[in-house]
Homo-oligomer: A and B are copies of this chain.
Amino acid sequence: MGLLSKSTEYALRAVLYVASRKDAKYVSIREISDELGVSFHFLTKILQRLTRKGLVVSYRGPGGGVALARPAGRITLMDIVEAVEESDLFTSCILGLAGCGEKKPCPLHGQWARERTGLGKMFRQTTIAKLAGHVVRDKLRLADG
């Protein structure tokens, strides 16, 4: 099992792509799906979710597309993950036990809680701006290959 769902992977890649071309006003979903090599219609649904959540703004018609709703430096990975992913990786028990916590821990609770905290910190502290800058400077790819 991957850490993130396909939907979340695509959402992150799409947002990073948009951020990495901040010269453009709106970036069309068709361009994004072509560049990322993913299904146009599927990506459309995912980006609509981000639009409804207010992370992205969209515009219809020629020259339209999507753009970030706020500066990339104020959007974190966690913002995207929470908007798309439903199950909460950062609070649930690694053995899937309901009610696992400090009071009634599962045998792995302590160790998993530590790892989970580190992961959460990474997602909360990393901004789209930082990664998009990384992409532009080092010419990193957002597609397979």
The 5 A-B pairs of least Cβ separation, nearest first, read A107-B131, A98-B144, A9-B96, A107-B134, A1-B5
> Which residues of A (106-145) have their CB < 8 Å from a CB of B?
106-108, 111-112, 115, 118-119, 122, 126, 131-132, 134-135, 140-145
- The 8 Å CB contact of A122, one of B13, B16, B92, B111, is B111
| CB-based contact B104/A3 at 8 Å | no
Taking a contact as CB atoms under 8 Å apart, the answer to whether B1 and A106 are in contact is no
Question: Roughly how many angstroms separate A145 CA and B51 CA in the complex, as a whole number?
Answer: 38
How many residues on the A side are at the interface (Cβ–Cβ under 8 A)? 44
Q: Interface digits, A1-22 against B, CB 8 Å rule (1 contact, 0 not)? A: 1111110110011001000000
Bound-state CA distance A98–B13 (Å) is 13
- On chain B, the residues within 8 Å of A98 by CB distance are 144-145
Q: Is A55 an interface residue (CB 8 A)?
A: no
